[in-house]
Amino acid sequence: MKEHLTNRDKQALKTKRKLITSARQIFLQNGFDKTTITQIAKHAQMGYGTAYVYFKNKHKLFIAIMEEIMQQFFQVAEQEFRPTTAEEAKSQIKDQVRGYLTLAIENKSMMKVVKEAIGSSETIQLEWNNIQDKFIKGITSDIQHSQNKQLVSHDFDPYITAKSWYHMNEIFMWQLVDTNESDSLEQIVEQLSLFYSSALYS
C-alpha cells in the first residue's frame, strides 16, 4: 500500500489530469469521431505517444471522461432511498428523477458527445451498459428494501422492475439532451414519478 504520493506520482497524475481536461475540451468541440489524438496531445502540450501511456486507446480515454461525468449521476442515484410511506416514496422518487434529468440538461453538450460515442464504438457501448447496470442494481436494491418494509408488493420482480424504470428515465434523458425541451422538465418529472409510484407504492 502506498502511503504517500511521490513527486513522480504527482507529476503523472497531473499529466493524466491535463490529458483528460484537454480531451474533454476537444471532444466537446469536435465530437467523438472527429477528435484526433494528435489534437488532444497538441492541446495538452505533450508528445503524441504520451496519451497512450495513460490510456490504451481513444475509446478508453473517452470512457475516463464519461465516467467522471457519470459520477455526478451516481451520486444522485445513490442518495438514501428508505421511504416509510407511499407519500414519502413518491416525493423521494421525484427528487431523484429531477436530479438525474437536471444533470443531463446541465451536461447536455457532453452528453451529446457521449451519445455519439456510444453509437460509434463497441467498447464505449459496453461501458455504457455497465453504467446502466450500476443504476439498475441500485434501483433493484431500493425496490427490495421497500418490499421488505411491505411498501411494495412481492409480486414485482425487483430486477425487471428496476430495469424498466431505469430505461423509462433514460429515454427521457436522451430526449432532453437531444432537444432542449428543458421547459417540460417538471412535467416529465411529475409524469414519470406518478407512473412509477402509482404502480409500486399505491
Partner DNA sequence: CATGAATGAGGCTTCATTCAT
Partner DNA sequence: TATGAATGAAGCCTCATTCAT
Ranges within 182-201 binding a copy of itself (CB under 8 A)? 183-184
From residue 129 to residue 168, the character string flagging contacts with a copy of itself as x (rule: CB under 8 A) and all else as - is: ----------------------------------------
- Using CB under 8 A, pick the residue from 78, 178, 186, 194 that binds a copy of itself: 178
Q: Which of 91, 73, 78 is nearest to 197 (CA)?
A: 91
Write the interaction track for a copy of itself spanning residues 15-34; mark x where CB under 8 A is met and - where it is not.
------------------xx
Which grid cell is 1? 500500500
| Residue 121 backbone zone (phi > 0: left; psi -120 to 50: alpha; other: beta) | beta
Residue 195 contacts which entry, DNA, a copy of itself, none (Cβ below 5-8 A, type-dependent): none
Question: From DNA, a copy of itself, none, which one binds at residue 24 (CB under 5 to 8 Å depending on kind)?
Answer: none
Interacting residues toward DNA by CB under 7 A: 7-9, 11-12, 15, 34-38, 41, 46-50, 52-54, 56-59
The nearest distance, CB 100 to a copy of itself, in angstroms, is 19
Q: Does 175 bind a copy of itself (CB under 8 A)?
A: yes
